[in-house]
Amino acid sequence: MDFCEILITDKTFVISPPTGAWAGCGAVIDFFGVVRPMENGRRIDGLDYEAHSRMAEKELRSIVNECARDHELGVCRLTHRIGFVPAGEISLFLRVAAPHREAAYAASRAIVEALKRRAPIWKRPIFSECAA
């Protein structure tokens, strides 16, 4: 794969439009994982994410490389926040680009599904004081 950016951060991040290497692809897909205000039927203030950052970055890179091989993935940007992420904010951002939309959709789904199963990133809901 020509380009892959992976970041585990405790900062709110800014999403910029695709430029440069992205321009040569026929399909660019953005996925935003947003913290829901409810968890198991209870209102939450947000999620507290914890990660083994080095291991997570290594595993995410492995996942992306597998998807690049299996789905003609050309370019990828994957960012996952750690620490407290309030309800309504983005905790996961994934941008993938591929020659065709079918490959981009498949790669996006495969990366998110594998991330949930394999990456050493854990979440803990912070429940609101008031009842739902």
* Res 80 pLDDT > 80: yes
Domains located in the chain, CATH noted: 3-12+23-127 (3.90.1170.40)
* Res 1 pLDDT > 80: no
Joined together, the tokens standing for residue 34 give 């947003």
The CA distance from 110 to 38, in Å, is 25
Identify which has the larger pLDDT, 1 or 89: 89
The total of other beta-carbon atoms located within 10 Å of residue 128's CB is: 15
Average pLDDT over residues 19-39: 90
Joined together, the tokens standing for residue 69 give 């091989």
pLDDT at 3: 66
The total of other beta-carbon atoms located within 10 Å of residue 93's CB is: 19
Q: Order of strands across the sheet with 3-9?
A: 3-9, 75-81, 90-98, 27-34
pLDDT at 131: 53
CA separation (Å) from 102 to 12, 75, 105? 30, 15, 5
Please write the tens of the pLDDT for every residue from 105-131: 999 999 999 999 999 999 999 999 865
Residue type, 110: A
53-71 and 101-118 are packed helices; what angle lies between their axes, rounded to 10 degrees? 150
Average pLDDT over residues 58-83: 94
**Bridge-based pairing state of the strands 3-9 and 75-81:** parallel
Torsion-angle region of 87 (φ positive above 0: left; ψ -120 to 50: alpha; else: beta): beta
> Which of 34-38, 46-50, 127-131 has the lowest average pLDDT?
127-131
Identify which has the larger pLDDT, 3 or 57: 57
What's the whole-model pTM score? Answer: 0.89
